[in-house]
Structure 1
């Protein structure tokens, strides 16, 4: 049985949350993030490190597709809380940026190239 090659891309989307000390909470998204991964995204967005943080850094440089339902989930998670989080979205491709803007995230987030 052959071992997996280390450079083989993951089979599905990758979503990771971390909260480095004295820095914004980080959400890293990679791959195609669509309705099939909405539940997992919502669970990640409900992580205590994000719920408690007032500032989020979202790395979307590895996202190849981002569904409108997922964009709305990100918007809800950032704004429907006692004190809305300050959002910085980094590295989103143009098509992903369009989806984020369509959901209204540009009104509550800084979307960096």
Structure 2
């Protein structure tokens, strides 16, 4: 299920499934221009049916505050499944901690 930020421009996000776990693989850089598209993607009913979201951030180089807050809003929604943030680099992890993501997600390094 690839996603697009604007016509012809791919989001740095790929989604796959492993049973009841949705694996969201991020790569490259998440700029503020992608925040709205990411939030819309995370509201997809198919994702809401998952028991767990795994945010695989091994290939994510950077994330800005706007996108970090977008992920936080999605992960803290009342109907959000369990969220695991997998292997973010130091820079990404610092931004995610800055916005308070550890209150709603588990980090696996």
TM-score over 0.5 (shorter chain)? yes
For 1:54 and 1:81, the matched residues in 2 are separated by: 13
Q: Say whether 1:61 aligns with 2:58.
A: yes
Matched residue count: 101
Aligned residue in 2 for 1:91: 87
For 1:32 and 1:49, the matched residues in 2 are separated by: 25
Report the TM-score when normalising by structure 1.
0.78
For 1:13 and 1:97, the matched residues in 2 are separated by: 20
Higher strand share: 2
Q: Say whether 1:43 aligns with 2:43.
A: no
Q: Say whether 1:34 aligns with 2:31.
A: yes
Report the TM-score when normalising by structure 2.
0.81
Tell me which stretches of 4 or more aligned residues in structure 1 moved more than 6 Å: none
Gaps of 5+ in 2: 1-8
For 1:67 and 1:12, the matched residues in 2 are separated by: 17
Q: Does the Cα contact within 8 Å between 1:17 and 1:49 map onto a contact in 2?
A: no
Q: Residues 93, 12 of structure 1: CA spacing in aligned structure 2 closer, same or farther, 3 A cutoff? A: farther
Per the TM alignment, residue 39 of structure 1 is displaced from its structure 2 partner at its CA by 2.0
* Secondary structure, aligned partner of 1:64: strand
**Larger-gyration structure (1/2):** 1
For 2:34 and 2:102, the matched residues in 1 are separated by: 22
Q: Does the Cα contact within 8 Å between 2:54 and 2:84 map onto a contact in 1?
A: yes
Per the TM alignment, residue 78 of structure 1 is displaced from its structure 2 partner at its CA by 1.6
